[in-house]
Amino acid sequence: GSTVEVDPGVEVDEENAEDDLLGGLKVDSTADIEVPDRLVDQVIGQDEARDIIIKAAKQRRHVMMIGSPGTGKSMLAKAMSQLLPREDLQDVLVYHNPDDGNEPKVRTVPAGKGEQIIDAHKEEARKRNQMRSILMWVIIAIIIGYTLLSPTSILLGIIAAGIVWLIFRYTSRGTDAMVPNMIVNNGDQRTAPFEDATGAHAGALLGDVRHDPFQSGGMETPSHDRVEPGSIHQSNKGVLFVDEMNTLDVRTQQKLMTAIQEGEFAITGQSERSSGAMVQTEPVPCDFIMIAAGNLDAMENMHPALRSRIKGYGYEVYMDDTIEDTAEMRRKYARFIAQEVERDGRLPHFEREAVEELILEAKRRAGRKDHLTLLFRDLGGLVRVAGDIARSEDRERTTRDDVLQAKSRSRSIEQQLADDYIERRKDYELQVTDDGVEGRVNGLAVMGEDSGIMLPVMAEIAPAQGGGQVIATGQLKEMAEESVQNVSAIIKKFSDVDLSEKDIHIQFVQAGQQGVDGDSASITVATAVISALEDIPVDQSIAMTGSLSVRGDVLPVGGVTHKIEAAAKAGCTKVIIPEANEQDVMIEEEYEEMIEIIPCSNISEVLDVALEGEPKKDSLVDRLKSITGSAFEGGQGA
């Protein structure tokens, strides 16, 4: 369980909560929903990560968070900074070192004190400058007065005055050196600092000393004034967040580790040739809590010592991608929209129906039965686009229509590509035809993460040149070979044809596209091969997706919702999906009327639906039914 329980702050209709898309929330719009103040209470789902953050904040431990982008890693890191005590914060000042100009001194004072010290120094410098200029003008006045008395030496007098002026002007630099450089200023911080050092270069992370183009001759900037803090120093007593840890180069990771171990880290110029490289400050405190984030890949490529450091002195936590769809969760999703609207500050609040549509979308995007997606960054993007549409039309509330429009606008690159692809294919009449075709099946694939595409497969059988082989081209070759292997086990049992004497050519029509995942097309290939082998045409108004076992079972696949929508868009009127995927179907209303979904659990059922030409087909299906295994039962992949 979680330690913080969050109530959206409005009445809940408990009785009908389960059936209501808003989990029984009695609200007209998100304006009625209260948003918690603390960031940690705004986090939805990720109970484990949140508990760990709360615990780690108390114990001052480092945390490693692994998971998909947009699930709340940086949000949690920021939330942690709000949980750390403000009293510990410090200001850091860098002073000129009169003994060694290249080793500036470092002093740490309680937050807010730094400002006072700087002011005092400035005041003193100002006074001193004032005194000096008074002194200077007095001397100049005396010289001028003196020359006026003896007009013969006017020129000498002017020269003397000039020399005095120059001396004062140059020596005045010495007084600048008295004012320290405040590199960390926490005077106005209301919470412990949060620094996001994702993708930072060494200088930004570890601090730097600027190059001085005038290294001597009285024009130089004193070295302490050129010192710049890094994120590790600015996050002192707070949180340092580093996403994609593995993109930091190894040397920088090593230095970061030293910083963690020592709790302080001297600042020096990072570029070797610059005059800054000659300067090194005394150690500067960097007592931060590190939150390292990334995907699994990031973890593997992280400096092993750094990883074990975090592991040994902290926690590791995995972020969830989806969460169970419960009434309570839906209420929190409604609150999520309220949060995003308030954070943005300009969007109109969402009407009840608009919230419902977004929660439906969260269900769809989960791609998993009875779950909601936790990829909130994308969902937040949708909230903003929908809100922007409403705002641009000066509406007081964001409506369901705005959400629907936003969805079609904020399509991913892959979705746009897929649509473009369908458009272009229309030109070549590769679309659905009314006549059945032997050996040709409309397969379905997923492009990217969230867009389906229709991918016709053609099979042709020819006498083998040598031993029979499967001939396929492109990136889907392996998949094709595997599907043919699976189907050949079945074919052997019911057909006289010896596949070892045949070459099977498999062509994926227009599958040159990058990013097409054909892993789930094995029933498509099987159907095409059997159709070609037995000379039975395939109904072209049907599309299909599913994986095939050696026993003839149709196994579940991913992305069914997107695939079904793609089939409908391409003009198919029926679509075959694995029975085990039936519960994952969350197509949008507009497609429901366009296409009939036919769940199948066995290849014989697939062929029964997809093949044409009654007598031949019926006998084939009967033979198949008698030999293939029982229908796939079980909840795998659901």
Q: How far is the CB of 105 from ligand ADP (least distance, A)?
A: 38
Contact map string, positions 409 to 438, toward ligand ADP, x by CB under 6 A: ------------------------------
CA angle 634, 637, 638 (to 5 degrees): 75
Binding-residue pattern over the window 46 to 85 for ligand ADP, x denoting contact by CB under 6 A: x----------------------xxxxxxx----------
Residues in region 489-518 near ligand ADP by CB under 6 A? none
| Strand segments (E) across 448-570 | 451-463, 470-472, 502-508, 516-517, 537-538, 542-544, 547-548, 554-555
Cβ of residue 79: shortest distance to ligand ADP, in angstroms?
9
Contact yes or no for 552/493 (Cβ under 8 A): no
Of 77 and 536, which has the nearer Cβ to ligand ADP? 77
Residues 194-213: x where in contact with ligand ADP by CB under 6 A, - otherwise, as a string: --------------------
d(CA 607, CA 621): 7
Q: Which is nearer to ligand ADP, 69 or 101 (CB)?
A: 69
Q: Which is nearer to ligand ADP, 6 or 606 (CB)?
A: 6
Q: Which of 25, 44, 302, 383 binds ligand ADP (CB under 6 A)?
A: 44
- Closer by beta carbon to ligand ADP, 244 or else 482: 244
CA distance 289 to 62: 5
Residue 344 C-beta: closest distance to ligand ADP, Å: 10
Beta pairing class for 440-447 and 542-544: parallel
CB of 565 to ligand ADP, least distance (A): 26
Please state the φ and ψ torsions of residue 336, each to the nearest 5 degrees.
-55, -45
Q: Is 266 helix (H, G, I), strand (E, B) or coil?
A: strand
Judged by CB under 6 A, the stretch of 37-45, 115-123, 137-145, 545-553 that binds ligand ADP is 37-45
Closest contact distance (angstroms) between CB of 78 and ligand ADP is 8
**72 vs 348, beta carbon nearer ligand ADP:** 72
Greatest C-alpha distance within the chain: 133
Q: Which of 43, 245, 461, 621 binds ligand ADP (CB under 6 A)?
A: 43
**Can you say how many angstroms the Cα of residue 234 is from the centroid of all Cα atoms in its chain?**
25
516, 453 contact by CB (below 8 A): yes
Catalytic: which of 522, 563, 601, 617? 563
Q: What's the min distance (Å) between Cβ of 386 and ligand ADP?
A: 15
* DSSP codes joined into one string, 441-462: EEEEEEETTTEEEEEEEEEEEE
**Helix, strand, coil: what percent of the chain each, to 5?**
45, 20, 35
Phi-psi region of 67 (alpha: psi -120 to 50; beta: other; left: phi over 0): left
Is 274 designated active site?
no
Q: How far is CA 294 from CA 72, 245, 297, 380, in A?
A: 12, 7, 7, 20
CB 318, CB 363: distance < 8 Å: no
* Contact partners, residue 536, CB within 8 Å, separation at least 6: 438, 530, 611, 612, 613, 616, 617, 620
CB of 209 closer than 8 Å to CB of 228: yes
Site for ligand ADP in 359-388 (CB under 6 A): 376-377, 380
Closest separation in Å from C-beta 74 to ligand ADP: 3
Q: Between residue 287 and residue 346, which ones bind ligand ADP under the rule CB under 6 A?
A: 336, 340
Q: Which is nearer to ligand ADP, 310 or 532 (CB)?
A: 310
The site that binds ligand ADP (CB under 6 A) totals a number of residues, namely 17
- Of 79 and 543, CB closest to ligand ADP: 79
358 makes contact with ligand ADP (CB under 6 A): no
Distance CA 267, CA 262 (A): 14
Q: Which is closer to ligand ADP, CB of 373 or CB of 522?
A: 373
Residue 538 CB, shortest distance to ligand ADP, in Å, is 45
Q: How far is the CB of 375 from ligand ADP (least distance, A)?
A: 8
Strand pairing class (596-600; 574-578): parallel
Integer-rounded Cα radius of gyration of the chain? 36
Among 23, 45, 203, 537, binds ligand ADP (CB under 6 A): 45
Q: Smallest distance from the beta carbon of 450 to ligand ADP, in angstroms?
A: 17
Q: Which of 275, 520, 541, 604 is catalytic?
A: 520
| SS3 per residue for 155-218 | HHHHHHHHHHHHHHHHHCHHHHCCCCEEEECCCCCCCCCEEECCCCCHHHHHCEECCCCCCCCC
Q: Write down the least CB distance from residue 376 to ligand ADP, Å.
A: 3
Q: And the tokens for 24?
A: 């029984």
Using CB positions, name the residue nearest to ligand ADP. Answer: 72
Confirm whether 563 is a catalytic residue: yes
Report the Cα 210 to chain-centroid distance in Å. 33
Alpha carbon 267 to chain centroid, angstroms: 32
What is the spatial distance between Cα 629 and Cα 490, in angstroms, rounded to a whole number? 10
Closest CA to 509 of 491, 523, 521: 521
Q: Measured from the CB atom, is 225 or 340 closer to ligand ADP?
A: 340
Distance CA 455, CA 444 (A): 5
Question: Phi/psi zone of residue 145: left (φ > 0), alpha (ψ -120 to 50 degrees), beta?
Answer: alpha
Query: Judged by CB, which is closer to ligand ADP: 378, or 414?
Result: 378
Which of 40-48, 160-168, 548-556, 619-627 is the region at the interface with ligand ADP (rule: CB under 6 A)?
Answer: 40-48
Q: Which is nearer to ligand ADP, 92 or 319 (CB)?
A: 319
Return d(Cα 136, Cα 257) in angstroms, integer. 53
Catalytic residues: 520, 563
* Contact footprint for ligand ADP (CB under 6 A): 42-46, 69-75, 336, 340, 376-377, 380
